[in-house]
Amino acid sequence: MRRGALVVLWAVAAMLVVLLVALPISLQTHLVAGLVVVACMIVLKFFRAQGVWRVIALSLGTAIVLRYVFWRTTSTIPPVTELASFIPAFLLYIAEMYSVMMLFLSLFVVASPMSSRKSPKIDPENLPTVDVFVPSYNEDASLLATTLAAAKAMSYPAEKFTVWLLDDGGTDEKCNSDNAKAAASARARRAELQALCAALDVKYLTRARNLHAKAGNLNNGLEHSTGDLVAVFDADHAPARSFLEETVGFFSTDKNLFLVQTPHFFINPDPLERNLGTFQTMPSENEMFYGIIQRGLDKWDAAFFCGSAAVLRREALQETNGFSGLSITEDCETALELHSRGWSSVYVDKPLIAGLQPETFASFIGQRSRWAQGMMQILRFRFPPLKRGLKFTQRLAYMSSTLFWLFPFSRFCFLLSPLCYLFFSLEIFTASGGEFLAYTFTYMMVNFMMQNYLYGRYRWPWISDLYEYIQTIYLLPAILSVIANPKKPTFKVTSKGESMLESRVSELGMPYFIIFGILLLGVVATGVRVWMEPYKADLTLVTGAWNVLNLIIAGCALGVVSERASRRMSHRVHIDRTCRFLFGDETIEASVRDISVGGARLHVAPSHEPSLKKGALGTLEFMPHADLPTQHMPVEIRKVGMDDKGLLLGCRFMIATPEHHKLVADLVFANADQWSAFQKRRHQDIGVLRGTLWFFMVSLYQTGRGLSYLFGLQRIGMSKPPVPSVASTAK
Q: How far apart are CA 500 and CA 567, in angstroms?
A: 6
User: Is residue 194 a contact partner of residue 157, using CB atoms and an 8 Å limit?
Assistant: no
- Sign of the dihedral defined by the CA atoms of residues 632, 638, 642, 643, in that order: negative
- Cα separation, 187 vs 192, whole angstroms: 9
Q: For every residue of 274-289, which 3-state class applies, written as one string?
A: HHHCCCCCCCCHHHHH
Distance CA 219, CA 205 (A): 12
Q: Is the dihedral of CA 518, 519, 522, 527 positive or negative?
A: negative
Three-class secondary structure of residue 200 per DSSP: helix
Question: Is 254 a catalytic site residue?
Answer: no
Task: Say which of 131, 168, 270, 685 is annotated catalytic.
Answer: 168
The radius of gyration of the chain's CA atoms, rounded to the nearest angstrom, is 28
Length of the chain: 731
Write the DSSP assignment of 462-489 as a string of letters. Answer: THHHHHHHHHHHHHHHHHHHHHH-TT--
What b/e sequence results for 407-441 when a residue is b if at least 16 CB atoms lie within 10 Å of its CB, and e otherwise?
A: bbbbbbbbbbbbbbbbeeebbbbebebebbbbbbb
Instruction: Say if CB 230 and CB 222 are below 8 A apart.
Output: yes
DSSP state of 358: -
What residues have CB less than 8 Å from 694, skipping those under 6 apart? Answer: 460, 686, 723, 724
To the nearest 10 degrees (0 to 180), the angle between helices 441-455 and 688-710 is 100
Which entry of 234, 236, 298, 331 is annotated as an active-site residue?
331
- The closest of 547, 544, 523, 552 to 692, measured between CA atoms, is 552
- Distance (Å, rounded) from C-alpha 450 to C-alpha 432? 27
178 is an active site residue: no
Helical segments of 508-615, H only:
510-532, 537-560
Distance CA 405, CA 409 (A): 9
Residue 624, sorted as left (phi over 0), alpha (psi -120 to 50) or beta, turns out to be beta
Q: Which residues are catalytic?
A: 168, 331
